[in-house]
Amino acid sequence: MFDEMWGAIEHLGRDDRTRGYLRDAWSPADLELRLWFEQEAARRGLGTVQDRNGNLWAWWGDPSARPGVVTGSHLDSVRQGGAFDGPLGVVSAFAALDLLRARDFRPARPLGIACFTDEEGARFGVPCIGSRLLTGVLDPDRARSLTDDEGDSLAEVLRRAGRDPRELGRDEETLRHIGVFVELHVEQGRDLIHRDAPVGVASAIWPHGRWRFDFHGQANHAGTTRLADRDDPMLPFARTVLHARQAAERDGGVVATFGRTRVSPNNANAVPGLVSAWLDARGGDEDAVRALVAEVTEFSGAEVTVESWTPLVDFDTALRERIAAVAGDAPVLATGAGHDAGILASAGVPSAMVFVRNPTGISHSPEEHAERADCHAGVAALAAVLEDLCGN
């Protein structure tokens, strides 16, 4: 079941030159994946509901009668990302449901499979757009006006996909359906290798955020403009990258990354007029993360906009201990990566995460991997967790 589903989507959005994935939200590859989700649900006799924010929900049972147990993840990717971040959780959700049905299990509570929209934020810069809109932490007006690299707004992109952008916003009805959410995800570190365990459970997600730095200058000819006459924003940007790295090294408990830039006009023979760059900063201690960002902001001289901020997420202790026990005494570990489960947990939805070992620890790269045997172990653990949570 798992292998067949994996084989059916493996090629979607893959760059054959790099083997990396390009699954931007609402791109043709993403739309195909969403269709695949609906087809897999239909194969199991489940209808798919799209909520106001474009998240997909396939329900076994009626969640309006009683809030359900939901599992799932996302199907979009970072640019040139790996195959596992997101899809592993969705494919495992369907495979776990198949395992439960093969055992003739009848859930006492509705069981839902979810696919959250635009988790990575690759296209519009803000991560977890689907779950942030659902829970109301992202302002719908702001979401509608976010633009991609082509200058298209999210509102326009949604309209083109046949959706009404006016519907965006906190969705009480959908939230009422979620009694508990369990997200299975490929591990994005090397903890489980050191613990020699195929499956683990999340304890917490580090506080993390993204800030856009706009360095303004004057676009001009790269050959005829004398150095003394230039106002080149690439220079303060370059100094700021180095400064962020040094500040993180000095702190020791924080990581800081400039991984995305937008240069205008982006010509090899022009001094740029504007450099926009995104700082991603995370750490175990919220004050330390904020202090680092404040320092880098002041140093940069740039115009800085907070694009997202997620405080420390401490997953429900009783729930995570219960899940760890059911998943065969799985180890419990903290992560520096953000997830929809973290957004839901912050909004008061009891949430948990199951991690599947990644033999290299590499993620957000074509090298991202999970051994097939570990994927199967993840499905078995997830099925046991769902059986436990749905059984009463």
Residue ranges in contact with Zn ion by CB under 5 A: 85-86
Between 85 and 148, CB nearer to Zn ion: 85
Residue nearest to Zn ion (CB): 85
Minimum distance, C-beta of residue 85 to Zn ion, in the bound complex (Å): 4
Between 121 and 140, CB nearer to Zn ion: 121
Phi, psi dihedral angles at 361 (to 5 degrees): 80, -10
The CA-atom distances, in angstroms, between 190 and each of 114, 233, 249, 322 are: 27, 38, 20, 23
Between 86 and 233, CB nearer to Zn ion: 86
Q: How far apart are CA 349 and CA 231, in angstroms?
A: 49
Minimum distance, C-beta of residue 161 to Zn ion, in the bound complex (Å): 21
Between 98 and 119, CB nearer to Zn ion: 119
Provide the residue count of the chain. Answer: 392
Between 22 and 296, CB nearer to Zn ion: 22
CA nearest to 232, candidates 272, 181, 267: 272
Helix 317-326 and helix 372-390, axial crossing angle in degrees, nearest 10: 120
Between 85 and 98, CB nearer to Zn ion: 85
Minimum distance, C-beta of residue 191 to Zn ion, in the bound complex (Å): 16
Minimum distance, C-beta of residue 77 to Zn ion, in the bound complex (Å): 9
| Amino acid (one-letter) located at 274 | L
HSE, side-chain direction, 13 A CA sphere, residue 71: 29
Calculated CA dihedral for residues 231, 232, 233, 238, nearest 10 degrees: -140
Minimum distance, C-beta of residue 23 to Zn ion, in the bound complex (Å): 11
At residue 331's C-alpha, the angle toward residues 329 and 336, to 5°, is 150
Minimum distance, C-beta of residue 127 to Zn ion, in the bound complex (Å): 9
Q: Identify the DSSP state of 189.
A: S
Measured in whole angstroms, the distance separating CA 209 from the mean position of its chain's CA atoms is 13
